Amino acid sequence: MGACRYCSIAPGKGIDKAETLSDVLRMRQGNRFIWIDLTDPAREDLNALIEPLGLHPLAIEDCLDEDQVPKMEEFPAHTFILFNRCRTANGAASVEEVNFFLGDRFLVSVHSHGSGETTFAAHLEAVVKRDLEDARRGADFLLEVLLDDIVDEKFAAIEALQDQLDQTEEEILQGNLDFRPVKLMHLRRNLLLLRKSLVYEREILVKLCRRDSPHVTDKAIYEFRDIYDHLAKFFEVIEICRELIATIMEIHLSMVNNHMAMVGNRTNRVVRRLTMITTVFMPLTMLAGIGGMSEWSMMTGAANWRIAYPAFMAGMVAIGFASYYLLKWVDSKDRKPRPHAGK
C-alpha cells in the first residue's frame, strides 16, 4: 500500500505537515508552496491531483509506466520530469524511476512505484531538512535539492563499479588463469545501464538550465548547472571505465595466449628430445637386429666371435655417440639467433 506525505514550506520558515490533501491545498497561499511526496501510489492517488493541481493524464500515465527513459515534458500547468535513481547491490546495478511534477508553488514527487519501499521517502525528508535553507526558497529549489541527492547516489553506484573494475584488473594482472570473463561482461552491462540513464538526464539538465520550464526561476538555474557538471563528470568516468574494460579484456586474452604459447613451447621441447632419442636409437636397433639374427657371425665367421662381437658393440657405441653429437650440433645451430637481413 502506498504512502503520502503532505508538506507546506514557506521562505524563512520550516516545514509544516498536513494530514490530508485538502489540508495542504489550503496552505498553498501567499509565498507558501507545497510538496506532496507519494510512495508507491495507486492511479487513484494521482488522479486526485488532476483537478486541484492540473496534472496532465498523459504525465500520470508515464509516471505509472516503469519502462520509460529519463525525460522532461512541458504541460499547461506543470513540468513533468522523469529521473532515474541508481543503486548497486551484490555487484549489480539497478535503476528506479523517480518522477516530479513542478508547477506554480507546488512540487509532487512520485517514487518506488510497485516496490513498496518506504525508506527512500524517509531519506528524501531527511535530505530536505538537511538542506532546508535552500529547499524553502521555492519549489524549483526544492526540486534541485532532491535531484542533487539522486545524482550523488549515482556517484556512489559508479564508485562501487569502479572498485569492482580495479579488483578485476588486479586479479588479471596477478596471472589468475581461472578468471572468468563473464565478470567483465556484467560490469560492462552495469556501466551501459548507468550510461543510458546519464545520456538522457544531461539533456534534462540542459533544458532546465536554459529555462525551457517556466516554473524554474533565474536564481535556481545556477544550482541546476552544478548538477549538470556532476552528470557530465560521471558520464566521462563511465566512458573511461568502458575503455578500461576493453583494455583489461585484451590483457586477459594476451595472457591466455602467452600461456598457451609457453605450453606449446614446452611440448615442442619434449617432442624434440623424444625425436633425438629415437633418431639415436634407430641405427642401433637396426644393428642389434642384424646381430641378433646371426648375420654378423655369418659375415665374420663363427670362429671369430671373441673379436667380432666386441667390435660390433664398439661400433654400436660409436654410431650412437656420433648420432647424438651430430643432432646436438644441428639443434645448437637452430637455436642461434639469425642476423638481420640489413646487417
Tell me the per-residue pLDDT of 214-254, one tens digit each, with 9 for 90 and over.
Answer: 999 888 998 999 999 999 999 999 988 888 888 888 877 77
Nearest to 201 by CA among 229, 178, 177, 174: 229
343 pLDDT more than 70: no
Q: 72 forms bridges with which residues in the sheet?
A: 81
Strand, helix or coil at 337? coil
Residue pair 132/14 in contact (Cβ under 8 Å)? The answer is yes
Q: Where are the alpha helices (DSSP H) in 12-110?
A: 21-26, 43-47, 50-53, 57-64
Q: What is the mean pLDDT of residues 33-47?
A: 89
pTM: 0.73
Enter the CATH code of domain 3-255.
Answer: 3.30.460.20
pLDDT per residue as tens digits for the range 141-164: 999 999 999 998 888 888 888 888
Residue pair 271/191 in contact (Cβ under 8 Å)? The answer is no
C-alpha cell at 106: 507546488
C-alpha cell at 150: 539522486
What percent of the chain is modeled with pLDDT above 70?
Answer: 85
Characterize 249-272 residue by residue with b for buried, 16 or more Cβ atoms within 10 angstroms of its Cβ, and e for exposed: eeebeebeeeeeeeeeeeeeeeee
Q: What is the mean pLDDT of residues 292-298?
A: 57
130 pLDDT more than 70: yes
343 vs 340: CA distance, rounded Å: 6
35 pLDDT more than 80: yes
Greater confidence (188 vs 329) lies with 188
The one-letter amino acid at 298: M
Q: What is the mean pLDDT of residues 296-318?
A: 68
* Res 341: pLDDT: 47
pLDDT per residue as tens digits for the range 62-120: 888 887 889 999 999 999 999 998 877 776 778 888 999 999 889 999 987 545 456 88
Contacts of 124 (CB under 8 A, 6+ apart): 37, 109, 111, 146, 149
What percent of the chain is modeled with pLDDT above 90?
Answer: 23
178 pLDDT more than 60: yes
Helices 119-130 and 139-173 sit at what angle, rounded to 10 degrees?
110
188 pLDDT more than 60: yes
Per the prediction, the chain carries an average pLDDT of 82
